[in-house]
């Protein structure tokens, strides 16, 4: 054995003899030549075995290898411009091969498979190139999220996952038995973060969140990750400024650090290069007009039906999709009708029928990736809204307290990690952006 290295560092070892610990991803034999596609979790490289250059038993060991067999391979690193590995441009001239285990017949072949089969084998599917690339990018996105917020002076706060039923609408909450009492898995940490900002000024929560929605679409999961920054002394305009800087940083960071993975995914990176501030800001009223226009000009009766909308309705995904088609970068839609939004959102000055809410819609049909608002800071108005929505006042006592002891304008948003990963990776369905997705009707594996 030589020095053990990881494939992602292969460029530092050209001309050296090194050892790789990994798995056989694929093999092609050609008589006296064998090509082993080796992966070690950090990358992929082709190992070349030429019979006349090797002891007979080593070459024979190569022939025995099955897909996903675990192997320890020693060889000389060569620069080879035509090699397609990850990173590209390197090859390993194999001199020794140790078999750790000959893998059983592996169910996932290089050919095509259906969604159900792949989801049933998710524990193995994550080894495949595109899944591997997606999940590496996910990790980078999660790191970029923390790096940007930490760099801006935000303090990470853990908010509870066990929560009392703060309001109505428990139909979308997962109920848990808490020593005989029903409690619920958190849908958001926002209300707690509104308490946290009065102690720390700028905070964020980052973790899993749970929604018992019976949604079976490519953008829904019952368990997903969300980052929720909340900022004191920040109004709606300040919120949009912050969001566009934040999201641009994440995208540019992925472009910088995960080129090889984006290439595996065949992602059009020019669409990502354009993600720099400022993002277009479209009011609900303007968006409403645009959608009416698109609907009027459409020849497709089905689309006309899907786009039917009255002022005051929240947008569905068909509306978001049509709207984002008009732009080549993320957009903000702000000023939604108050009736369609949550009780805590600050009303628009002089126009109480709309509120200081904002969604960010990703381009290329990906739709909503963030939702946020400026929060009500006036205690009397907040109480009025709680009563208007017939929410249990007692449960919000602590929340109302926040408006009594040094209340300030403040705002925040939630960004859905899986939807963001899907957009940046150019992946159709959010289920591929989480290693073990929980969706309606599937919790295995």
Partner RNA sequence: UCCUCGGUAGCUCAAUUGGCAGAGCGAGCGGCUGUUAACCGCUUGGUUGUAGGUUCGAGUCCUACCCGAGGAGCCA
Instruction: Give the whole-angstrom CA distance, residue 271 versus residue 311.
Output: 32
User: Is 441 a residue that touches RNA (CB under 7 A)?
Assistant: yes
Stretch that binds RNA, among 103-111, 139-147, 231-239, 252-260 (CB under 7 A): 103-111
Shortest gap between Cβ of 152 and RNA (angstroms)? 22
Residue 254 or 323 having the CB closest to RNA? 323
Stretch that binds RNA, among 187-195, 245-253, 264-272, 287-295 (CB under 7 A): 187-195
User: Is 48 a residue that touches RNA (CB under 7 A)?
Assistant: yes
Residue 10 or 275 having the CB closest to RNA? 10
Per DSSP, the residues of 220-252 read: --SEEEEEEEEEET--HHHHHHHHHHHHHHHHH
To the nearest 10 degrees (0 to 180), the angle between helices 417-425 and 129-151 is: 120
Among 38, 54, 91, 204, binds RNA (CB under 7 A): 91
Contact 137, 426 (CB under 8 A): no
User: Is 291 a residue that touches RNA (CB under 7 A)?
Assistant: no
Structure tokens at 342: 């949550």
User: Is 213 a residue that touches RNA (CB under 7 A)?
Assistant: yes
Write the binding mask 299 to 328 for RNA: x where contact by CB under 7 A, - elsewhere.
-------x-------x-xxx----------
The dihedral of CA 345, 348, 350, 351: what is its sign? negative
Strand, helix or coil for residue 432: helix
- Long-range contacts of 240-244, Cβ-Cβ distance < 8 Å, separation of 24 or more: 240/279, 240/281, 240/332, 240/334, 240/358, 241/277, 243/332, 243/358, 243/360, 243/370, 243/372, 243/413, 244/277, 244/278, 244/279, 244/330, 244/332
Instruction: With residue 210 as reference, give the H or E element that holds it.
Output: strand 202-210
User: Is 117 a residue that touches RNA (CB under 7 A)?
Assistant: yes
User: Is 46 a residue that touches RNA (CB under 7 A)?
Assistant: yes
Stretch that binds RNA, among 163-171, 241-249, 283-291, 378-386 (CB under 7 A): 163-171
User: Is 127 a residue that touches RNA (CB under 7 A)?
Assistant: no
Instruction: Give the whole-angstrom CA distance, residue 372 versus residue 194.
Output: 13
- In the region spanning residues 245 to 274, those forming contacts with RNA, defined by CB under 7 A, are none
Stretch that binds RNA, among 140-148, 188-196, 251-259, 270-278 (CB under 7 A): 188-196
Strand, helix or coil for residue 118: helix
Shortest gap between Cβ of 151 and RNA (angstroms)? 25
Stretch that binds RNA, among 10-18, 182-190, 275-283, 374-382 (CB under 7 A): 182-190
Stretch that binds RNA, among 140-148, 174-182, 214-222, 280-288 (CB under 7 A): 214-222
Among 128, 172, 283, 298, binds RNA (CB under 7 A): 172
Other CB atoms within 10 Å distance of the CB of residue 378: 14
Stretch that binds RNA, among 21-29, 145-153, 267-275, 292-300 (CB under 7 A): 21-29
Contact 375, 200 (CB under 8 A): no
Instruction: Give the whole-angstrom CA distance, residue 262 versus residue 42.
Output: 15
User: Is 221 a residue that touches RNA (CB under 7 A)?
Assistant: no
Shortest gap between Cβ of 24 and RNA (angstroms)? 10
User: Is 397 a residue that touches RNA (CB under 7 A)?
Assistant: no
User: Is 166 a residue that touches RNA (CB under 7 A)?
Assistant: yes
Residue 31 or 350 having the CB closest to RNA? 31
If 0-12 CB within 10 Å is exposed, 13-18 middle and 19+ buried, where does residue 41 land?
A: middle
User: Is 32 a residue that touches RNA (CB under 7 A)?
Assistant: yes
Q: How far is CA 407 from CA 34, 197, 380, in A?
A: 71, 11, 12
Instruction: Give the whole-angstrom CA distance, residue 161 versus residue 14.
Output: 49
Under rule CB under 7 A, how many of the chain's residues touch RNA? 62
Residue 273 or 305 having the CB closest to RNA? 305
Stretch that binds RNA, among 5-13, 31-39, 261-269, 278-286 (CB under 7 A): 31-39
Strand, helix or coil for residue 194: helix
Instruction: Give the whole-angstrom CA distance, residue 281 versus residue 356.
Output: 13
Instruction: Give the whole-angstrom CA distance, residue 146 versus residue 136.
Output: 16
Shortest gap between Cβ of 340 and RNA (angstroms)? 8
User: Is 222 a residue that touches RNA (CB under 7 A)?
Assistant: no
Residue 10 or 254 having the CB closest to RNA? 10
Footprint of RNA (CB under 7 A)? 26, 28-33, 35, 37, 46, 48, 50, 52, 66-67, 80, 82-84, 91, 105, 107, 109-117, 119, 166-167, 169, 171-172, 187-188, 190-191, 211, 213-218, 220, 306, 314, 316-318, 341-342, 371, 414, 429, 439, 441-442
């Amino acid at each position: 054995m030589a020095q053990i290295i990881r494939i992602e560092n292969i460029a530092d070892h050209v001309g050296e003899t090194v050892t790789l610990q990994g798995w056989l991803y694929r093999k092609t034999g050609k008589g006296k030549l064998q090509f082993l596609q080796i992966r070690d979790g950090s990358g992929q490289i082709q190992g070349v075995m030429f019979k006349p250059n090797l002891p007979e038993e080593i070459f024979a060991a190569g022939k025995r290898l099955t897909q996903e067999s675990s192997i320890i391979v020693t060889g000389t690193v060569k620069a080879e411009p035509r090699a397609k590995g990850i990173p590209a441009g390197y090859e390993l001239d194999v001199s020794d091969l140790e078999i750790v285990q000959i893998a059983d017949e592996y169910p996932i072949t290089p050919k095509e498979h259906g969604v159900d089969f792949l989801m049933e084998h998710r524990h193995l599917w994550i080894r495949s190139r595109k899944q591997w690339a997606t999940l590496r990018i996910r990790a980078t996105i999660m790191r970029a999220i923390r790096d940007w917020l930490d760099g801006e002076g935000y303090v990470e706060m853990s908010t509870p996952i066990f929560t009392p039923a703060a309001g109505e609408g428990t139909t979308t909450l997962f109920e848990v038995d808490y020593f005989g009492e029903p409690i619920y898995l958190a849908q958001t940490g926002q209300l707690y973060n509104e308490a946290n900002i009065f102690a720390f000024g700028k905070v964020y929560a980052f973790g899993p969140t749970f929604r018992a929605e019976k949604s079976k679409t490519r953008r829904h999961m019952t368990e997903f990750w969300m980052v929720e920054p909340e900022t004191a002394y920040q109004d709606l305009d300040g919120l949009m400024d912050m969001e566009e800087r934040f999201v641009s940083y994440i995208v540019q960071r992925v472009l910088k650090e995960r080129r090889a993975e984006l290439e595996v995914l065949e992602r059009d990176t020019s669409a990502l290069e354009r993600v720099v501030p400022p993002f277009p800001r479209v009011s609900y009223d303007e968006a409403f007009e645009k959608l009416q226009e698109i609907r009027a000009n459409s020849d497709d009766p089905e689309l006309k039906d899907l786009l039917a909308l009255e002022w005051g309705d929240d947008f569905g995904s068909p509306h978001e999709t049509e709207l984002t088609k008009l732009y080549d970068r993320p957009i903000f839609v702000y000023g939604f009708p108050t009736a369609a939004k949550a009780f805590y959102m600050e009303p628009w000055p002089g126009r109480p029928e709309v509120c200081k809410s904002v969604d960010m819609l990703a381009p290329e049909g990906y739709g909503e990736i963030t939702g946020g608002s400026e929060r009500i800071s006036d205690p009397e108005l907040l109480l009025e809204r709680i009563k208007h929505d017939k929410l249990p006042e007692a449960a919000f006592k602590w929340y109302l307290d926040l408006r009594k002891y040094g209340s300030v304008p403040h705002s925040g948003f939630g960004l859905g990690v899986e939807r963001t990963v899907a957009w940046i990776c150019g992946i159709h369905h959010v289920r591929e952006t989480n290693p073990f997705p929980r969706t309606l009707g599937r919790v295995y594996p």
